[in-house]
Structure 1
Amino acid sequence: MVLGIGLGLVLSPSGLALLSEPTAYTIAQWVAVPGQVFLPVIQMIVIPLVLTSIILGITSSGDASFLKKAGLRIVPYFVVTTTLAVAIGISVATVMRPGDYISANMVQSMVGDSPASVIAGPAVQPDVSIPERIVNIIPGNPTQSLVDQDMLAVVIYAIFFGVALLTLKHQQSSIILDLTRSVQAVSLTIVNWAMLLAPLAVFGLLCDITIRVGIDAILGMSVYVISVLLGLMVLLGLYFLIVLLVAKQSPGHFLRAIREPQLLAFSTSSSAAVMPLSMQTAHESLGVRKSIAQFIVPLGATINMDGTALYQVVAAVFLTQVFGIDLSLNELLLLTATTIGASIGTPSTPGVGIVILATILQGIGVPVHGIALILGVDRILDMCRTTVNVTGDLAACAVMDRWIGSELGSDEAAAPLPQVD
């Protein structure tokens, strides 16, 4: 990480500028190759890994009541923490008002010359009623969900499949469970191959983004960046408080235990890439039961995007300040609800948050092309919010293990937990 950032600052046209801009950008493309290979390999195996991990997490408890106990606790927990994250984001953005520090000239220079693809933004989605949204959650065509990489649909399908397996006799389910374990083992083998590239991927991705972004873009948006980082730090403090009061673990111990998943999340900007390591860390370092780790981590990587929700709401309020749009209380409540809904099911891959943000902006009257204003620093903030997302998943594991672990007893005989070399 240090070498990548250091080399990036040396080569960046806005840094020491030892090379010409075209040469520096060419080098940035080449050093990013290991990271560009690492991420697709991980993404390639995410869906089978999520499917098998959730199915085995449910069935390893051997009791259908596990899903009821876990579901009735974890879903409200995720909704509450996401709501708190959004509230923190709105509070920070309202108090610090980062949009007031952006000059009209800067807006014109960055937005006025933005690419047409950015200005256009994603296609406007037709209005869908709440009952229709509820019905659409159920994956009517699982195959299409796999093709579209609709992670929320994949998670729900895996839950249905896992619960159905629990209702079958051992003779009927054993073959499917053996096959599921084999698919998980194959997936983790590919993950282990990808992990061999992790150090080079970390170096290359950080060097690439530092060369491209440089110091100027960061300084020009410094108050906005500080606002997002401050909100994420407050959210981290909330996690530590929850771990201390609910999970009865020392924040220092918790932070030391999850250090490696946090660093990998920071460098890759993908909670999906960190998922196998998160499950292993939850069990081996935090002492979370296998069935809980296998169920909560894949589920959290799909619907527990607190850091992303906080970033999106800070960015939305920031852009309203830049364009002089005053939000009423009702509009703030609508923004809160929209952000919470948009964060659930957001793909756990780099750069997706900026696309989801465009949808949120359309609902509050902010020009979508305003996104061009924050694109320069988005990758850096993406790295930070992904780290917070992974921290939230591991905190949820510790909390759920405390809440329902004693009711499950020991599960040492359950399906082996994924191991990452």
Structure 2
Amino acid sequence: MIEFRPLNNLSVHLDRLIKGRLWLKVIIGLVLGAGAGVLLNPSTGLLSEEISLRLADWLDLPGQIFMRLVQMIMIPLIFTSILTGIVSNTSENLKSFGLRLLLYFVFTTAIAILIGLAVTLILKPGQYIFSLGGFPNSSESQNLPVEQTSLIENIPNAISNLIPNNPLESILTGEMLGVVIFTILIGVAITQLQEETARPIIRFSEAIQKICMIVVSWAMMLVPYAVFGLIAALLSRTGVEIFLGLGYYMGVVILGLFLLMVFYLVLVLTIIKKSPFKFLQAIREPQLLAFSTASSAAVMPLSMKTADEKLGVSSNISDFVIPVGATINMDGTALFQCVTTLFMAQAYGIELSIINLLLITFTVVAASIGTPAIPGGGVIILASVLQSAGIPIDGLIVIIGIDRILGMFRTSVNVTGDLTACLIFNRFYGDRSNTETFPNKT
């Protein structure tokens, strides 16, 4: 005789199966959210557009609460993490470490842009967009020399503006790059103080950092529900036709991001001499969270925890590299901005010379450094890249419709790049007493 188990027994078994496995919970949330979003979309005819939009607002609620909790403690967490990371390094170690980290970020960003240039110039996604009726027409497409001259003239101002004249204003407006530079300067200044004077500041910073991580642990309880709601709300609001019309362009961007991911894995294999597959397995939780939230800032605390516990990175390395990387190391975003700029140039029939491409490359590097680590940050900055290249920004309205989907992919790549940088710099500057990488920790 067949024995039927009560449903509550099955639910307990399922809960035991996924207990402590955030990545599995996120996958379940993604799948269920995607299914619910497709069903709630007005195009299915099951619900009216008004009801669908109202349901989407409620589905967004857990995700919005999660994002606000993380953003609430983001600036104090970045401030204290960078401070403790700097103070933990010796003064001489910091000079070479900080400069090489900046050069490394510039190098990987340049590689991302070269990959973006290559895939876009070879596959030419912009040549097919007009046949799909995707872009608005524009006659303002031939003002390249004027825009390029203004860009060159603005370079000195852009460099000087990196240092905030009012740190409190940067904090209140959420200008993360200004906060990071201010924090680095304060951290370096602290290393010049006598130990007795600096000790209370360091203890206070460590206490604030731990408090922030406790708040993050509370927010992480919402993650599976936030993922479900964010994906369901996204797909219930987005029409299927926009994906079909721009599918080739999306494929080119995702191909470029995949090649950039392969580049990171090659670095892990050649420099760290560890299996890329073990690396991917260790970082799956921050990758999935990045994919679902499309925000590097939201994933930063989990990335730091993963680097310390699963990658064996010294805390003084991860405390410095990840907050800085979440602000200025936007390789996936740089690739997206490069591909999109060339895509729109091709769509509007604008021929770009080698000088044009070099100027676009420089602008994308500068723009990616200043890109906010929030959903949609890439498109916000992309407008300045297009203007600097003399390309009409009319087509951005089309890109905005699919940006959240592409943002999920490029944020996962950004987070992977930060964790790769942690491993590489831990290899040369980490705690020599801890030589084990990818330790078996639960």
Confirm or deny a common fold (TM above 0.5): yes
Residue 376 of structure 1 deviates from its aligned partner by 1.5
Q: Which of 74, 94, 105 is 1:67 aligned to?
A: 94
Residue 39 of structure 1 deviates from its aligned partner by 1.1
Cα distance in 1 for partners of 2:391, 2:267 equals 35
Q: Which of 112, 130, 133 is 1:106 aligned to?
A: 133
The reply on whether 1:9 has 2:38 as its aligned counterpart is yes
Q: Which of 90, 104, 107 is 1:80 aligned to?
A: 107
CA contact (8 A) 1:289 1:410 kept: no
Paired residue type of 1:9: V
What residue in structure 1 maps to residue 432 of structure 2?
Answer: 409
> How do residues 9-88 of structure 1 correspond to structure 2 at under 5 angstroms?
9-14=38-43, 16-61=44-89, 63-88=90-115
Cα distance in 2 for partners of 1:410, 1:97 equals 51
Residue 210 of structure 1 deviates from its aligned partner by 0.9
CA contact (8 A) 1:86 1:309 kept: yes
Deviations 1:58-90 (A, max 9, x none): 1123x1123113113211110010001011111
Residue 104 of structure 1 deviates from its aligned partner by 5.4
CA contact (8 A) 2:308 2:318 kept: yes
Deviations 1:11-39 (A, max 9, x none): 2133x332122222221111111112211
Cα distance in 2 for partners of 1:349, 1:105 equals 30
> How do residues 245-260 of structure 1 correspond to structure 2 at under 5 angstroms?
245-260=270-285
Cα distance in 1 for partners of 2:239, 2:95 equals 49
CA contact (8 A) 2:132 2:245 kept: no
Cα distance in 2 for partners of 1:24, 1:133 equals 44
Q: Which of 87, 97, 104 is 2:124 aligned to?
A: 97
Equivalent position SS for 1:369:
coil
Deviations 1:74-132 (A, max 9, x none): 11110010001011111111111111221256236xx48xxxxxxxxxxxxx8654333
Cα distance in 2 for partners of 1:370, 1:141 equals 35
What residue in structure 2 maps to residue 279 of structure 1?
Answer: 304
Paired residue type of 1:98: P
Q: Which of 359, 377, 400 is 1:375 aligned to?
A: 400
Deviations 1:209-238 (A, max 9, x none): 111124221111110000000000000000
Cα distance in 2 for partners of 1:307, 1:315 equals 12
CA contact (8 A) 1:291 1:411 kept: no
Residue 145 of structure 1 deviates from its aligned partner by 1.6
What residue in structure 2 maps to residue 397 of structure 1?
Answer: 422
CA contact (8 A) 2:115 2:260 kept: yes
Residues 375 and 64 of structure 1: is their aligned pair in 2 closer, same or farther, counting only changes over 3 Å?
same
> How do residues 125-144 of structure 1 correspond to structure 2 at under 5 angstroms?
129-144=154-169
What residue in structure 2 maps to residue 196 of structure 1?
Answer: 221
Cα distance in 1 for partners of 2:96, 2:388 equals 36
Unaligned runs of 5+ in 1: 113-125, 413-420
Paired residue type of 1:351: G
Residue 133 of structure 1 deviates from its aligned partner by 2.6
Residue 404 of structure 1 deviates from its aligned partner by 2.2
Cα distance in 2 for partners of 1:287, 1:183 equals 23
Paired residue type of 2:78: V
The reply on whether 1:155 has 2:155 as its aligned counterpart is no
CA contact (8 A) 2:134 2:245 kept: no
Larger Rg computed on CA atoms: 2
Deviations 1:305-343 (A, max 9, x none): 000000011111111111111111110110001000100
What residue in structure 2 maps to residue 415 of structure 1?
Answer: none
Paired residue type of 1:36: Q
Residue 410 of structure 1 deviates from its aligned partner by 3.8
What residue in structure 2 maps to residue 122 of structure 1?
Answer: none
What residue in structure 2 maps to residue 205 of structure 1?
Answer: 230
Once structures 1 and 2 are overlaid, which stretch shifts more, 347-356 or 189-198? 189-198
Q: Which of 172, 191, 196 is 1:171 aligned to?
A: 196
Cα distance in 2 for partners of 1:107, 1:129 equals 33
TM-score by length of 2: 0.86
Paired residue type of 1:86: I
Q: Which of 335, 341, 354 is 2:379 aligned to?
A: 354
Residue 203 of structure 1 deviates from its aligned partner by 0.4
CA contact (8 A) 1:313 1:339 kept: yes
Once structures 1 and 2 are overlaid, which stretch shifts more, 209-218 or 44-53? 209-218
Cα distance in 1 for partners of 2:243, 2:357 equals 28
What residue in structure 2 maps to residue 239 of structure 1?
Answer: 264
Unaligned runs of 5+ in 2: 1-29, 138-149, 436-441
Cα distance in 1 for partners of 2:388, 2:154 equals 15
Equivalent position SS for 2:104:
helix
CA contact (8 A) 1:319 1:370 kept: yes
Cα distance in 1 for partners of 2:433, 2:158 equals 39
Residues 243 and 84 of structure 1: is their aligned pair in 2 closer, same or farther, counting only changes over 3 Å?
same
